[in-house]
């Protein structure tokens, strides 16, 4: 399993290259996101099928016929969607919105829309995605060996034992397991879990990591170890069955 640093949240930006797409791209960069531009839905779906993952899909209404089936794919794989329209396009949207069911729709005028509104819309969608009561992942995506995440009770089942966590601890632990093997920086975790801008010298992440490590008993024998990476952040390392058995033999 390859280890790599967690970068900024990835936003798929779908739309024909024009002044509006360029403005959205530049604003996403300013806000700290990583926008990846696709000029058609087919290219976006190909990238997704090849293993590329996105935290959000932001698209413009340039050719509604291209988007047939796209909302269903995004719902299945839990990719929040934000449809961007301009005033003259609302008449095109009316017959589409019932079929498409995008997560949110916003007006965007290159000269008038404030960057703060775009950030607010994105954050609302990301928070809605992470809310334990609204999770819709498949069973297989919520279980890692003996650890099963239960969103309804904000707990983790481990070998028949239910471990109750606070909502922040549960979300923090879920991000660790979803990104097992990767080094997650404190700044990334603060943004992703606490929805907070990183503050220099904060111990918030370290305190939460200590509690989660203890409550979930993250050690070699149980298949997962939570490691602090000096001056970077945290990594949840997977210990294979062979490695566990070899350690017992020694």
Q: Cα separation of 82 and 129, whole Å?
A: 13
Q: 204-215 vs 167-178: helix axis angle to the nearest 10? A: 80
pLDDT tens profile 152-165: 788 999 999 999 99
Q: Which residue has the higher pLDDT, 132 or 198?
A: 198
Per-residue pLDDT averaged across 12-40, rounded? 88
Looking at residue 64, its pLDDT comes to 66
Of 141-145, 166-170, 202-206, the poorest mean pLDDT is in: 141-145
Of 238, 120, 224, 234, nearest in space to 172 by CA: 234
pLDDT one-digit tens code per residue, 69-116: 787 788 778 888 888 876 555 555 554 444 446 777 777 776 667 788
pLDDT of residue 97: 46
DSSP designation for 87? G
Tell whether the model's pLDDT for residue 216 goes beyond 60: yes
């Amino acid at each position: 399993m390859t280890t790599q640093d967690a970068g900024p949240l990835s936003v798929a930006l779908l739309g024909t290259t024009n002044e509006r797409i360029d403005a959205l791209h530049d604003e996403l960069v300013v806000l700290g996101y990583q926008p990846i531009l696709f000029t058609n839905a087919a290219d976006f779906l190909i990238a997704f099928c090849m293993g590329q993952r996105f935290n959000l899909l932001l698209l413009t209404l340039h050719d509604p016929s291209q988007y047939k089936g796209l909302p269903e794919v995004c719902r299945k794989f839990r990719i929040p969607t934000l449809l961007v329209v301009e005033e003259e396009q609302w008449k095109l949207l009316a017959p589409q919105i019932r079929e498409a069911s995008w997560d949110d729709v916003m007006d965007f005028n290159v000269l008038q829309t404030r960057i703060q509104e775009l950030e607010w819309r994105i954050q609302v969608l990301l928070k809605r995605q992470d809310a334990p009561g609204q999770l819709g992942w498949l069973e297989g995506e919520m279980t890692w060996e003996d650890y099963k995440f239960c969103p309804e009770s904000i707990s983790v089942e481990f070998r028949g034992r239910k471990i109750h966590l606070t909502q922040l601890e549960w979300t923090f632990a879920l991000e660790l397991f979803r990104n097992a093997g990767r080094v997650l920086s404190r700044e990334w975790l603060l943004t992703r879990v606490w929805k907070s801008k990183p503050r220099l010298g904060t111990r918030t992440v370290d305190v939460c990591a200590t509690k989660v490590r203890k409550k979930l008993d993250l050690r070699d024998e149980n298949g997962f170890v939570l490691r602090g990476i000096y001056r970077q952040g945290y990594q949840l390392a997977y210990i294979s069955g062979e490695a566990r058995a070899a350690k017992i033999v020694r």
